[in-house]
């Protein structure tokens, strides 16, 4: 099948309905997706990755207490007016740029029923189209964005794609793990998937890192998927169902990935991304060297 026969990937889903209990008390009054990393909320990095990959129709799955996400990507005329009076037009331009990033839509996941259920909430918006899923607690950075890589491989195979990375064996219990056959450079054909296996039962050390390109067949698979680990509908279990009828491929990511899923990883991500910042990276580097003495 040639590339032109595959529907173009133009829509993205960002599940952002989780309670963020691992980040309490920070998340008592703000969504975990709005936790800042350097000078931007986490979810802005995720939206920017989608846009840089050619996707500008984005559905964010939210829940109760998540209005701050909508406000962040909306215009703020009062704030813009104050900044204009101060002649701070550089700040005004940055705010306008955020509001113009993409066409962003919102729907609520009314019950906390897992990642798979959150993706299923997007069915009406996605329709019979392939789409991207980007989890809001992972930031990936590279010249060729992770999501764009997945879309390029989807265009080649016309099959669902998952991004994976190698993790220490003792950490496989924290991820969805694939069993796969290598078919190219950093490319695998998926044979099976397991959600959060024990290290001794894990089929590999290739962990799904929260970036997917999925065919619309995933919705039928999700509808057939019963609650699994934690009493929630797991996307990994739905992918197992999908695998019975469709091929799934995995692309191994080797570039920087920052896990914002727990406090220590968030602190590391903030430091590492701050060091890459041209404005204050060099000064921070000097400070850290002095601190470590």
List, for residues 181-191, the tens digit of each pLDDT value: 999 989 999 99
CB atoms within 10 A of CB 151: 21
Whether residue 180 is found in the same domain as residue 289: no
For residue 13, is it within any domain? yes
- Domain match, 68 and 118 both: yes
Per-residue model confidence (pLDDT) at position 175: 87
Asked if 172 and 124 sit in the same domain, the reply is yes
Distance (Å, rounded) from C-alpha 138 to C-alpha 281?
Answer: 22
pLDDT of residue 84: 93
Number of domains in the chain: 2
For the chain, list residues with pLDDT below 50.
1-4
Domain for residue 245, yes or no?
Answer: yes
CATH classification at residue 143? 3.90.550.10
Residue with tokens 């897992």: 114
Residue range(s) defining the domain that contains residue 54: 8-261
**Per-residue pLDDT at 5:** 66
Same-domain check for residues 215 and 126: yes
3 located within any domain: no
Whole-angstrom Cα distance, residue 86 to residue 67? 28
Contact (CB, 8 A) for 56 and 8: no
Whether residues 211 and 284 share a domain: the answer is: no
How much is the pLDDT for 3? 44
- Residue 283's contacts (CB-CB under 8 Å, 6 or more residues apart) are none
Distance between CA atoms of residues 59 and 56, nearest Å: 10
Terminal-to-terminal C-alpha distance of the chain = 60
Residue 1 lies in a domain: no
Statement to judge: residues 156 and 228 lie in one domain? yes
Given a contact cutoff of 8 angstroms between Cβ atoms, the answer to whether 122 and 11 are in contact is no
* Same domain flag for 84 and 220: yes
Q: Same domain for 243 and 102?
A: yes
**95 and 151 share one domain:** yes
- Same-domain pairing of 103 and 243: yes
Q: In this structure, what are the phi and psi dihedrals at residue 256, rounded to the nearest 5 degrees?
A: -65, 135
Note whether 250 and 270 are same-domain residues.
no
Q: Are residues 64 and 197 in the same domain?
A: yes
DSSP alpha helix (H) spans, the chain: 42-52, 67-72, 77-85, 89-99, 115-120, 123-126, 146-157, 217-223, 235-243, 263-276, 281-292
Other CB atoms within a 10 A radius of the CB of residue 6 amount to: 16
What is the reported pTM? 0.91
pLDDT digits (tens, 9 = 90+) for 215-249: 999 999 999 998 877 778 889 999 999 999 999 99
């Amino acid at each position: 099948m040639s590339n032109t026969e595959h529907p173009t990937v133009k829509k993205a889903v960002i599940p952002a309905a989780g309670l963020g209990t691992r980040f309490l008390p920070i998340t008592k009054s703000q969504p975990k997706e709005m936790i800042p990393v350097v000078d931007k909320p986490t979810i802005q990095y995720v939206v920017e990755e989608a846009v840089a990959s050619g996707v500008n129709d984005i559905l964010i799955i939210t829940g109760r207490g998540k209005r701050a996400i909508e406000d962040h990507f909306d215009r703020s005329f009062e704030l813009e007016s104050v900044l204009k009076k101060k002649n701070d037009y550089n700040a005004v331009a940055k705010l306008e740029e955020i509001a113009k990033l993409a066409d962003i839509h919102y729907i609520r996941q009314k019950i906390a029923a897992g990642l798979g259920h959150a993706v299923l909430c997007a069915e009406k918006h996605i329709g019979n189209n392939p789409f991207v899923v980007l989890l809001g607690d992972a930031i990936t950075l590279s010249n060729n964005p992770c999501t764009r890589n997945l879309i390029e491989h989807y265009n080649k195979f016309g099959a669902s794609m998952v991004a994976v990375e190698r993790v220490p064996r003792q950490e496989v219990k924290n991820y969805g793990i694939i069993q796969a056959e290598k078919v190219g450079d950093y490319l695998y054909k998926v044979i099976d998937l397991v959600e959060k296996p024990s290290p001794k039962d894990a089929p590999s050390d290739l962990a799904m890192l929260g970036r997917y390109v999925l065919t619309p067949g995933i919705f039928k698979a999700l509808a057939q998927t019963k609650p699994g680990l934690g009493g929630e509908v797991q996307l990994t279990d739905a992918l197992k169902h999908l695998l019975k009828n469709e091929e799934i491929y995995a692309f191994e990511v080797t570039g920087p990935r920052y896990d914002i899923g727990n406090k220590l990883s968030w602190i590391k991500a903030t430091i590492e991304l701050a060091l890459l910042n041209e404005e204050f990276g060099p000064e921070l580097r000097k400070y850290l060297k002095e601190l470590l003495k």
